[in-house]
Each structure stands twice: as structure tokens, then as C-alpha cells.
Amino acid sequence: IPILRTLANSLTSDKVTRILGVLNGTSKFMMTKMVDEGWSYEDALKTAQELGYAESDPTNDVEGYDAAYKAVILSQFGFGATIDFDDVSHKGITNISTDDVAVAQELGYVIKLVGDVREVESGISAEVSPTFLPKNHPLASVNDVMNAVFVESIGIGESMYYGPGAGQRPTATSVLADIIRIARRLSDGNVGKPFNEFRRDLPLANPADVKSNYYFALDTPDEKGKILHLSEIFNSEDISFEQVLQQKANGTTARIVVITHAMSKTQLKAVTEKLEAAEDFTVVNTLKVLSN
């Protein structure tokens, strides 16, 4: 996807506020199979490896490392900030279950591995994580090995850049474009300017300023009063619910699913610690939710 030149040239007069991206073709292919066809993670990985999309060691793709590297690059071009890779929180798709996929569908979402780089009042934040996307969001329709970058800015508003995320020809085309650019500079006797001239000091954001909605899947004994207790735990951190779903009990255990309203990373850390300390709740999964 020719997103870097777009950010460096076409959007140079605009102010980018957030970049969301489906940035890894392998994980995207796997999530498509899991979402659309109900495959397990293991079956999706096996097929991705057989088709040559995933390496024999798929760690870089499925654990979000590859997407995190790309988030670092996007932060440089979109915000002029250089973020250390270690400062990009990343969570892969290995913990996504068919239950999570089914709940997402029931509640009107799809799950995709999304890179999220944004500027808030205190600085810049970058992360990669499986994310509940509303089905009407443009990124929700990015399937198979296609990738997309969704840019929010003050001038243009919203724009999306879409194309193949893997494959011999797209890769060769991108590499050859750089070679042609270098050859033209040599022919003109001009070294040229840096690809990206946008530089500024932008600190890492305070976790209290980075807010999102979140999905919690919790197991609890199938007894009365559990949702009330759960509400008390979230309320103690000033977190409210947007949606609550209690699934049919499996034996003596029930599954409670919660979609919260926007809360900060500070609140997320605090409420997760309280849930893990509570004897009557087991946190099965926590995922970010992109609100409508």
C-alpha cells in the first residue's frame, strides 16, 4: 500500500490525529477463516502455512510483532515521532477463540488485529491488539491477505488506503519503485532529500489519557448475584457498561461478556487486577473495542 509517500507528501499540510491499520496479511487471512468460516486458530494457522502465507515459525505474524514494527514506521510518517519498538504494546491473535468470534458476531462486531497510533493531549500512543470492529467500519471489510490503513485527520477527515498485504508482485512493485526513485536521483546528480522530513519531539502518552472501549469475557459460578458483584467491581473504578451478555451455563460455570464504555489504560489495569483478585471471576479474555 503506498501509504508512506501519501503521509509524507499528500497529507503534509494536514494534521493526522489517528492511524488505524490492518497491517499483517498472515493474521488477516487467519482471522478471515476464523470469522467467516468458523475455523479454529490451529486450523487457520496450518492452512496459512500450507499456502506459504505463514512461516514455519509464525511468531512475528501471530503475536503482533510485524504489525508493531509497521506501527513504529507509521508513527514516524504520520506524527513525526520516533517510538521505540519496546514502547509499542502488542498482543497477537493466539488467544482468540471461536467463542470470542461468535460473541463478536452476535453483538455486531468482527475481530481483526489492528494497529492503533494516535496523538492525545499528553503525547503519542501506539499499540497492536485484536480489536472488536463495528461491522459498518471500513476496516471491518478488509479480508483474506488484504491490508488497509485508515487515517483520521483534521483537514481531510477520514480516508482509507487499501491493497495486498502479501505476495510476490506487490512486494516487487514496492521495492522497484524505490530503486527507480534512487536511479532518477543518480541520473539528475541529486542526492535528494530524506524520504520523511517530518520530525518533532512528541512524548509517550500518559496511560490515563489513552481511552478505548473494552470487551471482557469472564467465567463465574452459576449463582445469583454475580452480575451485581461484577458491576460493583467496575463501578469502583468509575467504569460503566455499554452491553452485558450472560451465556447459558456450562455445568456449574457461566460465561459473562461485558462491553464497557470508554475507559483509560490506567482504569483497565486497575479493574483487571481487581477481577483477577476476585475469587468468583476468571478473566478469559480482554480485547479492545472500537466504538461507533
Do 140 and 223 fall within a single domain? no
Domain that includes residue 254, residue range: 207-289
Active site positions, annotated:
70
Asked if 44 and 170 count as a contact pair (C-beta separation under 8 A), the reply is: no
- Does residue 83 fall inside a structural domain? yes
Q: Quick check: is 170 in a domain?
A: no
pLDDT number for residue 180: 93
Q: Give 227's pLDDT tier (boundaries 50, 70, 90).
A: very high
Domain contains 188: no
Domain boundary among the residues 129, 164, 199 is at 164
Last residue of a domain, one of 133, 164, 195: 164
Residue 195 resides in a domain: no
Averaged confidence pLDDT in the chain: 92
> The whole model's pTM is what?
0.90
DSSP per residue, the chain: --HHHIIIIITTTS-EEEEEEE--HHHHHHHHHHHHS---HHHHHHHHHHTTSS-SS-HHHHTSHHHHHHHHHHHHHHHS----GGGSEE--STT--HHHHHHHHHHTEEEEEEEEEEEETTEEEEEEEEEEEETTSGGGG--TTEEEEEEEESSS-EEEEEEESS-HHHHHHHHHHHHHHHHHHHHHT-----S-------PBPPGGG-EEEEEEEEEEES-TTHHHHHHHHHHTTT--EEEEEEPPPBTTEEEEEEEE--EEHHHHHHHHHHHHH-TT-EEEEEEEE---
- The reply to whether 47 falls in a domain is yes
Identify whether 7 is part of a domain: yes
Task: State whether 115 and 236 are in the same domain.
Answer: no
pLDDT tens figures, 235-271: 999 999 999 998 877 788 999 999 999 999 999 999 9
Q: Is the pLDDT of residue 50 over 70?
A: yes
Q: How many domains does one find in the chain?
A: 2
Position 282 in a domain: yes
> Does the residue 182 lie in any domain?
no
One domain for residues 149 and 246: no
Q: What is the pLDDT of residues 184-223, one digit of tens each?
A: 999 998 877 788 889 999 999 999 999 999 999 999 999 8
Q: 143 and 230 in one domain?
A: no
The CATH number of residue 73's host domain is: 3.30.360.10
Among 53-62, 85-94, 166-175, 260-269, where is mean pLDDT lowest?
Answer: 166-175
